[in-house]
Structure 1
Amino acid sequence: MAEDENEKAYRWEGDYERTWEAIKEDEAGSLQATVDDIIQRAKRKRLADRPVNVRLGMMRHLFLVVDMSQAMEIQDLKPDRLSSTIKLLEKFIDEYFDQNPISQIGVLTTSNMRAEKLTDLGGNPKRHILALKGCKDKPCVKEPSLQNAIELAVSTLRHMPGHASREILIIMGSLTTCDPGNIHNTIKLLQDMNIRCSVIGLAAEVRICRKICEDTNGTYSVVLDETHFTELLMEHTTPPPATANTEPSTIKMGFPQHVLNTEKDKQEQPSLCMCHLDSNTKQLSTVGYFCPQCRSKYCELPIECKVCGLTLVSAPHLARSFHHLFPLDEFVEVQRSNFSNQHSLFCQACQSHLTDENVFQCPKCDNIYCLDCELFIHDSLHSCPGCASSRPKQS
């Protein structure tokens, strides 16, 4: 009995020793190469753990909520939390639209116990990034209000079609929230509207944030450093699984052409686009996308026509979304010693000499890849270069 107690009391020592066995110094005496390898293999494990044969919410409507309270001036992230968050969100928005070309994003901020809409839902990443950069010059004031920010997002998301994915992602730096009412009523509203709410905390875990995420099937994480912050953001670029009460629907889409009048063709008079009718920046132009059903003009795609309700996208947008429905097969990890020409193996993608003991082989074309290229292929490329360049086998 005493031996069992001692074993339980010092079980952590075994894990500690195994950790040091895995970490090895390189020729220069640095541990960075081993640490990077552990991180990359953890990323690959997350890719392997992604669920398959799950219905996904491909058409996403996501509101980003950025905390701009006094807590965002803390300098645990350099140069401070707000600057670091804006920098990483710029990368996130570009990656989000690259992975989800038929989806939309809107940006909200919360400070001084209020919430403000920076940009409405739209598919133009430059507009959202430009609005975020403008936040660097704004002061961080008092406390945020989760309830006001969520209800402002819900006021727009509630009008989105039932077959679309409705999401809110909150970047929370404060440990407190100042709300005008009962936030549990707001959580119930999120559940009724089928809106998924996720939170990334920059300080420590907050109980109400955990409850919001659990009750709405979202995710809640607290960052460790800037690298971990980036990874947590990029996890939200993958479409979430559709909930059971998501409405299945046949979606009617329009594919408008971009009209650009030349000097010889000036029959079309300058007009306002429907995107900016309610904004402060109203510019007349003859360039834009015209709805094939009602001829309303828009300056960006994808978007839902405000006049006839037709979803307007481009054909490349739709084609690039298919990789989520048909993900690339996982590569097989094999030992380099299994190959007869192990001393002259090269990565099919980067053409570098393979020196690691474990390499990755495509199950279809049998080409070999290094770990970095394997991660890039599954994260960004979504197609095997070897399969794309090889001829189909003759039956």
Structure 2
Amino acid sequence: MVTSLLTFLSLTAFPPAGDHYSSTDSGRVRLASELAWESGRLSGNQYALLTNSSSQRLFNLADSLIKTERAAVFFSPEHGFGTNLPDGVHSTDEQYKGRPVVSLYGNKKKPLTSDFGVADTLLIDIQEVGLRWYTYLSTIRYCLESAAMAGIPVIILDRPNPLGGLISEGPIPDSTLMSFVGALPVPVRYGLTVGELFTMAQHQNWFPLMKDLKLTVIRMDGWKRSMLWPSTGLDWIPPSPNLPTFQSLYWYSGTCLFEGTNLSEGRGTDLPFRWTGAPWLNPADSILFNQSGIRVQYDEKTPVSIPGRAHKPKYENERLPGFTMKSITGDRSVLQSIRQVILSLQSAGRPLTIKPYLFQLLGSRSVEETEEEMKALNDFRIESRLYHFYP
């Protein structure tokens, strides 16, 4: 089976040479969108484009398509086309420079065939963060399925995985745990670019609707799997309101699990996902974090509603004791360390409440890692290497 798969991949999995455009700028990673535009690859079509304003600040493909009369329609994910809505707030259809913007985080999460209008190709140009529970990933999946049903080819304009491509970690959800924060059977942190991931999804037949989809991935230039975002030479543009810095994303890969508990995950403070608090925490609880390989600093904060960032956060307007995440010690992943924090708080008798949403985020029915999960993760690591586009 492995041999046949390798033969299949050698013929079809990787984009043809014409879909890799060389960079003349060795100082930074160059996005597939700018390389494809400069090469003339994106010409002669009417495009639907899944994107948002933050994804266009490094290279504005949306405006380039409008100026050349090639933009038919835009699709927007959670946080809206302007990337200015708090999590969970539904967006509505709008206009951008005379072109329709169809919201995919409101009354619907999947485009209708009619939404494509005169578009004959779907472009995916949006900055994902390398985590399964980040809803942009689910929106990409649904857009690809809709394009397949409409008979419209798809081009993914690849972008860096901000968390790099060396580490994958966390449970892989089965079909009963699939949701909008877990729409793919991959670990929480999956260690692939969006182009690699959906090439794998199609060839592994995760989603039957994508079986006959004509999918092309245009690659970046200069990206390596060892690169975290600061090594790309690209400015950090917040992909959503509560990830203002790369550090906030790094911690979000674990502390997002606090959303499924009665701990504040820091929304409504100046350190979302880097600070956690609850009325029942006290300075002595720092040892429970430190035992999990995390170094913290005691810090009191008051979560408040912040327009465009936090809408009625947990413990709104209540002064809370809590901790700011400072660093990880040893060779430990953020996700596994945060899972251990939750177990430590439970074992210490703290009034920690775990809600069903935590298991939805985690993609597991238990906070403790099981042998079955470890085997599934190891299998994913082996299989996903076959789809690597980058060294």
Please identify which structure carries the higher strand content.
1
Choose between structure 1 and 2: higher helix proportion: 1
Structure of higher RCO (CA pairs closer than 8 Å, 6+ residues apart) = 2
Name which one, 1 or 2, has greater alpha-carbon Rg.
1
Range class of TM-score, shorter chain:
under 0.3
| TM-score, normalised relative to structure 1 | 0.27
